[in-house]
Structure 1
Amino acid sequence: MKITITLALVLTFSGFVYGQFPNTNLIITSIRTGDTEVFIVNPLTGDAFNLTKAPDSEERYPAWSPNGEKIVFTSNREDGKTFQLYIVNKEGKGLKQLTHLPFGSVAYWASWTADGKYIYFNEGNTSSIYRIKPNGTGLQKVAEGRDGNISPDGKKIVFTQQGKKGYGVWVMDASGENRKQIISHESNIGGIAPVWSADGKKIAFSGQDGEYAEIFVCDADGGNLKQLTHLKKISSSPAFSPDGQYLTFRVTDFAYWREEQSRNTAYTQKQADKRPVYLMKADGSEAKIIEVLHYQCAIDGSRAEWQPNKK
């Protein structure tokens, strides 16, 4: 009996049972070193591994490879002004620069196809979506759009673009054709960051609700739209657990990215609790802060991505 109770306590965190996941690690950006670095964090114990170790530069928007062995992220380590994509293994070794974009470019929010053959990413200055192979070859512009995220089967991209009243949620073929708005509700706050579930059946995103941004979920075609959070804050950057039963997301009290001055101030001040990581069930219930990621998270909009289950 004592052993059973002990195991239950170890596997339960903030009301959620993590024992069903073979891997509980999350990847997130942190300022615990004074710089924005990419860390692999155990959400139960708080154990953290600095994956990037690059002083005096900014490392952001990490994304796991489908087998959980590699991580792609963006960094301005090259010249302090240009954010290129880099790839590294989960032990922090084998670092390789993937992109060589023009000076001042901003590569961000990479996502992998489930077969690991392609990495799709966004370029912020031109609002363009690109793809590249994990070995750094085959760079190709796919289409115009923002916050693009490739479906696991590599056939569809969910993204945002300006509509009549704000930014909406759209889907198109991976070729950039057949663009279709699937959510008519549009946001002026931004930070929509739509993302697919691992099975490609659901899409989560941040949508405007009055003065706030909340997390919503819908089917792949936009049907069965449901608001998950009601925190009356700025909730963004959702990420599904491998089995689709949970989501992590980021929460802040002010959409500082909408104005250059407030954005620069937020990044300069690096407030430790400005944008912590939350966790909730996929139905929106029991939303709570993950305490080991309450402080020291970086201010950028990186998702707290779950390490994929090994097949």
Structure 2
Amino acid sequence: YFSADGSQFIFQSEVAGDNPFYQIYVRDLVTGDTNRVSPGIGLTTCSWIHPTLERVMFSSTHEDPDALKKQAEEISVRESGVDRPYGWDYDHHYEIYQADADGSNVVNLTNSTGYDAEGSYSNDGSKILFASNREAYSRSLSQAEQRLFDDDSSYFMDLFIMDADGSNVEQLTHSPGYDGGPFFSPDNSKVVWRRFNPDGNSAEIWTMDIDGTNQRQLTSDAMVAWGPYYHPSGRYI
């Protein structure tokens, strides 16, 4: 994603070394310099540059006690040449972190068991939208729910909003199936996101007000609609 002023972009990349998983990097489009801003341990994803350019946000598992062990295991599997289908890891150690623009002063914003990721800043930098399946870890699941969780833990993914310092967390959606990829409208009054059907075979684009009300389905294609984002005018998605 590009910074608000268009001078930088933040991205995830696998780089050769003792960690085979994605880490987060920021590239300066003026100088061409690229710097890692994530800790370098574990898995990372879903990064964003704060509108002030003073800090960054990303999701990471670097505090997982088994992070280094998982890195070594992944390297061993890749070196073995075993073919595997692509699949995303909804590791329950994923937390959303804030760091200074150079990657220093890393702070955990979520501190909740479950996959906390897919964060984005509001355009004024005061709020963060994100996706999480934390509810599945915080209550007892029925037998039917446990089977769904064991098959695909993303079934329990819902959308949340919090202040940029991690306080005042509120749940916005309570829908079966994967709600993810939320972004703010330019005036910070609405949210656009993708919602998977409960069977996980298709996803549609939805919008809602910032408090979770007025949820509206925009597409009905019975396919996978992905990555919605507001035009700067707010008139198009």
CA drift at 1:88: 1.0
**Which residue does the alignment assign to 2:169?**
179
Distance 1:240 1:81, change over 3 A: same
Aligned to 1:115: 52
Change in 2 beyond 3 A, CA 1:152/1:138 = farther
Out of 96, 101, 105, the residue aligned to residue 138 of structure 1 is 105
Contact 1:191 1:237 in 2 (8 A): no
In the alignment, residue 162 of structure 2 is paired with which amino acid?
M
Partners of 1:203 and 1:219 within 8 A in 2: yes
Partner of 2:220: 230
Q: What is the aligned counterpart of 2:196 among 191, 196, 208? A: 208
Q: Deviations over 1:81-123 (max 9, x none)?
A: 1321111123681112222331xx2221112222222211112
Q: CA deviation at 1:157?
A: 1.7
Report how far residue 65 of structure 1 moved.
Answer: 0.6
Structure 2 CA distance for aligned equivalents of residues 176 and 96 of structure 1: 25
Tell me how far 1:75 sits from its aligned partner: 1.0
Letter in 1 for 2:48: S
The equivalent residue for 2:130 is 159
Q: Which runs of 4+ in 1 moved over 6 A?
A: none
RMSD: 2.2
Taking the aligned partners of 1:239 and 1:183, their CA distance within structure 2 comes to 18
- Partners in 2 of 1:123 and 1:171 — Cα distance? 18
CA distance in 2, matches of 1:209, 1:136: 37
Tell me the number of residue pairs that the alignment of Structure 1 and Structure 2 aligns.
181
Change in Cα spacing, 1:94 to 1:217, as seen in structure 2 (3 Å) is same
TM-score relative to the length of structure 2: 0.68
**Structure with the larger RCO, 1 or 2 (CA within 8 Å, 6+ apart):** 1
Higher helix proportion: 2
CA contact (8 A) 1:192 1:236 kept: no
Unaligned runs of 5+ in 2: 62-90, 137-144, 146-155
What is the DSSP-based 3-state SS (H/G/I as helix, E as strand, rest coil) of the residue aligned with 1:183? coil
* Deviation by residue 1:250-277 (Cα, 9 ceiling, x = unmatched): xxxxxxxxxxxxxxxxxxxxxxxxxxxx
Q: Does the CA contact (< 8 Å) of 1:191 and 1:236 recur in 2?
A: no
Letter of the 2:97 partner, please give it: Y
Give me the identity figure in percent: 23
Distance 2:30 2:233 in 1: 25
Question: What does 1:159-308 correspond to in 2, within 5 Å?
Answer: 159-162=130-133, 163=135, 166-187=156-177, 190=178, 192-209=180-197, 211=199, 212-247=202-237
